[in-house]
Amino acid sequence: MSGRHTLKYAKEAKKDSRLFSGAALAATLIFGAIFYIFAVVLMPLKVNNSIAHMSPETIALSMQPAVSKTLADRSFTLLVDGKETTFRLGDYEFTASPDGDGQTEQVEYTDDNGKTQSKLITTVGNLCFNETAVRQFIYDLAKEYGTPMIEPRYTIDGDTLTVHNGTDGVGIDFASLISTISQRIKTGDYSPISTQIITLEAPKVDIDQIYKEVKCPPSNAEVTTDSAGNPKFIADIVGKNFDLEAARETISKDAKSWKIKLTLTYPEVSLKEVRAPYCLDELSSCTTSYSGSNAARSNNVERAAENINCYGEFTDGYIMQPGEEFSFNGVVGERTEANGFMKAPVYLSTGSTDDYGGGICQVSTTLYCAVLYANLEVTERHNHLYVIHYWPTEGCDATVDWGHLDFKFKNNKEYPIKIKFTYAKKKLTVKITGTEDGITAKMTSKVTNTVNYNTHYKRPNADHPEGATSGGDKGKTIKVWRKVYQDGKLISTEVESNNLYNPLDKTIYTKNLPKGAEYS
């Protein structure tokens, strides 16, 4: 059974402030308890009789979101010198604050026997809003009528606090407007509010209030987990302090702004250090297609990718600690039937043949490109005998051969990195994640020489019908450069590799030899 309850206003709410320049004014901005507003502005709330058995804290917390949402949907029409504008409370974060002493209220309800009962509760907090946003609203309105008044303000850049003096100008009386809105919300009166543009004198810089806002002890970053086991991070705070007496002396001198030296105390544990083991930031990614691969080659590509994802103790990506070296052969393992690999085409100096693991060089090449873009240190890499076509930048490939040629690189980052492959619809993607450091790299290449291929003719067969062709790539010499950027700014350009690719002769299968040609 449910019934009506009424809330009786008991005491003034705790005061709050948001900005140093409006600290004195902001004390007038907290307008009564949220439950008082809920009772006066809204229809009486229907509550279950279980409220009699709930703690005051539980009652208050359960009602707060409803009050906040209702306020977010409310708005006033402001008549500024006769011109209409809309002031939507939700745009300025008018909500129920979860902090503060709150109000003592009497809640009346109907119990299971139909009798009226009452319970004394303390509500949570008061109403609050984004003072910065409200002042910006006033500033934007004032621009239509002249030069707006500018509040004193401050900025922090490293160990320097810059305090900016305010300037006189036109605007709307902030305290008067907020007081009117406060009273209107209390009484549920959302009719238009008339106000006017006036000349305002900028407040004096309150260095004592700035000191209260800026001064803080250092605090270490922390990590917690939610109910689903996902990490939640609490950022570190750099401790700040300054000589208040010296600052008072500094701002006593007439100026538009003043610089004050800050004393910084760094926390022992930074947010980067706390986040680092989770490898949350994408450092690079590369995708190649193997849509033209047969079932055996596709199997080999996916098997090699999975061997990297699930190597040793890893089940969802290979994690490398700072300074650790990765060996493609060591991680992927020998390409044998027992290890799940199939026979597929591989290139030899004499052409192509089928062998176990054919196609896994696409995995090493895809990884190599991601390694380059993440600006990791390559310690061993070999180009293919012939130019490959599944990556657009020529010269950025990496071939491997068990027992002979390996692909290796080091994690030269400050924090761990994670390598993870995914594949779907014949597309292979590798992502390298870690801790963002602002470093990126781009690759450019140039063909410095070419060698033509020869053409051979063979008779058609079951695998190669009339007119089928294979090969036909010129030999090339390709130079590759790595360009490294820090936060988008080029900081270095170095030669990454010099690559020599053999020409791959073209074979044409036909019964009709051109004049003068012979079968090979």
Write the pLDDT tens digit of every residue in 144-180.
Answer: 999 999 999 999 999 999 999 999 999 999 999 998 9
Of the candidates 293, 319, 298, which has an alpha carbon nearest to the alpha carbon of residue 308? 319
Predicted model pTM: 0.67
- Report CA torsion sign: 389, 393, 394, 397: negative
SS3 183: helix
Buried b (16+ CB within 10 A) or exposed e, 128-140: bbbbeebbebbbe
SS3 130: coil
Residue 412 Cα to chain centre, angstroms = 23
User: Where are the extended beta strands (E) located within 135-206?
Assistant: 153-157, 160-164, 169-171, 193-195, 198-200
Of the candidates 488, 455, 495, which has an alpha carbon nearest to the alpha carbon of residue 472? 455
Of the candidates 315, 302, 319, 272, which has an alpha carbon nearest to the alpha carbon of residue 366? 302
Of the candidates 192, 170, 171, 197, which has an alpha carbon nearest to the alpha carbon of residue 180? 192
SS3 297: helix
pLDDT, one tens digit per residue, over 40-92 is 333 333 334 444 455 555 555 544 444 454 677 889 999 998 899 999 998 99
The answer to whether 357 touches 301, Cβ cutoff 8 Å, is no
- Whole-Å CA distances, 436 to 275, 284, 310, 414, 489: 10, 10, 24, 10, 16
Is residue 61 within a helix (H) or strand (E), and if so which, with residue range?
helix 56-72
**What is the Cα–Cα distance from 259 to 278, expressed in whole angstroms?**
39
Residue 66 Cα to chain centre, angstroms = 30
**Residue 343: exposed, middle, or buried by beta-carbon count in 10 A (0-12, 13-18, 19+)?**
middle
pLDDT, one tens digit per residue, over 402-444 is 999 999 999 999 999 999 999 999 999 999 999 999 999 999 9
- Per-10-residue mean pLDDT, the chain, length 520: 30 31 38 35 36 51 49 88 91 68 52 63 61 90 92 95 96 92 84 94 95 96 91 95 97 95 96 95 96 95 97 96 98 96 83 86 97 98 91 91 96 97 97 96 96 94 91 93 96 97 93 90
| pLDDT (0 to 100) of residue 54 | 52
Main-chain phi, psi angles of 181, to 5 degrees: -60, -40
What is the token pair recorded at 241?
Answer: 């302090």
Q: In terms of DSSP bridges, do strands 116-122 and 104-110 run parallel, antiparallel, or are they unpaired? A: antiparallel
| pLDDT (0 to 100) of residue 122 | 45
The answer to whether 85 touches 78, Cβ cutoff 8 Å, is yes
| pLDDT (0 to 100) of residue 5 | 30
The residue behind tokens 């009699």 is 52
